[in-house]
Amino acid sequence: MTLSQMQYDEIMRTYEARREKARHDAEEAKRKVRLAIPEYEQIENMITDLAMESAAKALDGDTQAVSSMKAGIRELTAKQEKLLADNGFAPDFLEEKYVCADCKDTGYIDGQKCHCLKQAMIRYTYRQSNIEEILKRENFDTLSLDHYTDAECEKMKGIISSCRKFADDFGQRYENILLLGNVGVGKTFLTNCMAKAVLDKGYSVIYFTSIRLFDTLSREVFGHDEGSSAANLHDIFTCDLLIIDDLGTENVNSFVASRLFDIINERDLRRRSTIISTNLSFEELDGRYSERNFSRIFANYHVLHPDIGDLRVRMRRAAQ
Ligand SMILES: [Zn+2]
């Protein structure tokens, strides 16, 4: 990931703010509990006293002190838990709640970058935070077959289940998807569903419309994008899932065709999954990109083809 120190610091400040908020919210929760259950605080004080007494006893040579303290604390804690439950508080009400429970919003696990930090860096590098808003609206939970005819529903169910399977098996099975179909059949929606599910599993996802991908690549190659070309390309080759949406809408030239081949080839060697969606037919794809490119896509990609009418037109009509 190509971030300057300043950008990295900015991300880490958001992590610090998250931890601060978790601490603050936990303090606030504690205050509420103390107000609602005075006995809760009394028990808390008893635990502190017990710990201090036991420490003193242990120093005096009482070998049983520690084990009897542990038993005492267990008993008192159980009482506290019961009090919480009796007063209608959730068992985890007093716990610090993190955005990422895996790294407790530190960004690191055992000195290694947590998946959430990797994804935050990708978001920052590619300015993709807008995708998150879209993914809140377009995901498997909001996917609906309302606008399809009965016959189309049957076709779509098969395609949706393949998309679900791709997301469910992600990380255990290497798979690529080529989504074919006319404008308005819901390809981008399906792509977003998979992106959201894979992101939620903690994998790194980079999303590009084909126009932006090749624009980014050509800017780097031709040196208009200060430094960093090798590193950006590295992300595109190595992220867990690369999505190229709307392949065929870019201006094709020999540069684009060879870059596409490099990306597909390199990711395949690394067994990193790619989803490509396109409005083009097989024949059109074949004509546009070089022969070797296309046969590769065909050989290693699971082809899904929602062969139905334009939903957007139908939805507009329904709204009128
Ligand atoms: Zn994390």
Q: Alpha-carbon distance 170 to 3, whole Å? A: 27
pLDDT at 227 over 50: no
Measured in angstroms, how far is the CA atom of residue 171 from the centroid of ligand 1? 18
Measured in angstroms, how far is the CA atom of residue 101 from the centroid of ligand 1? 7
Region 150-158 average pLDDT: 83
Residue of 7 and 77 predicted with greater confidence: 77
Measured in angstroms, how far is the CA atom of residue 173 from the centroid of ligand 1? 23
Q: Are 252 and 289 in contact (CB under 8 A)?
A: yes
What is the separation, in whole angstroms, between the first and last Cα of the chain? 47
Residue 312, helix vs strand vs coil: helix
Measured in angstroms, how far is the CA atom of residue 117 from the centroid of ligand 1? 6
Q: Which helix (H) or strand (E) holds 52?
A: helix 38-59
Measured in angstroms, how far is the CA atom of residue 113 from the centroid of ligand 1? 8
Q: Are 263 and 293 in contact (CB under 8 A)?
A: no
Q: Which domains does the chain have, with CATH numbers?
A: 5-86 (no CATH), 128-319 (3.40.50.300)
Measured in angstroms, how far is the CA atom of residue 146 from the centroid of ligand 1? 37
pLDDT at 226 over 60: no
Q: Alpha-carbon distance 193 to 167, whole Å? A: 9
Task: Return all residues near 65 (Cβ < 8 A) that are at least 6 apart.
Answer: 54, 55, 57, 58
Q: Which two tokens stand for residue 170?
A: 């992600």
pLDDT value for 130: 55
Q: Are 155 and 307 in contact (CB under 8 A)?
A: yes
Q: How confident is the model at residue 87 (pLDDT cuts 50, 70, 90)?
A: very high
pLDDT value for 262: 85
Measured in angstroms, how far is the CA atom of residue 155 from the centroid of ligand 1? 38
Residue of 60 and 185 predicted with greater confidence: 60
Measured in angstroms, how far is the CA atom of residue 15 from the centroid of ligand 1? 9
Measured in angstroms, how far is the CA atom of residue 118 from the centroid of ligand 1? 9
pTM: 0.66
Measured in angstroms, how far is the CA atom of residue 193 from the centroid of ligand 1? 22
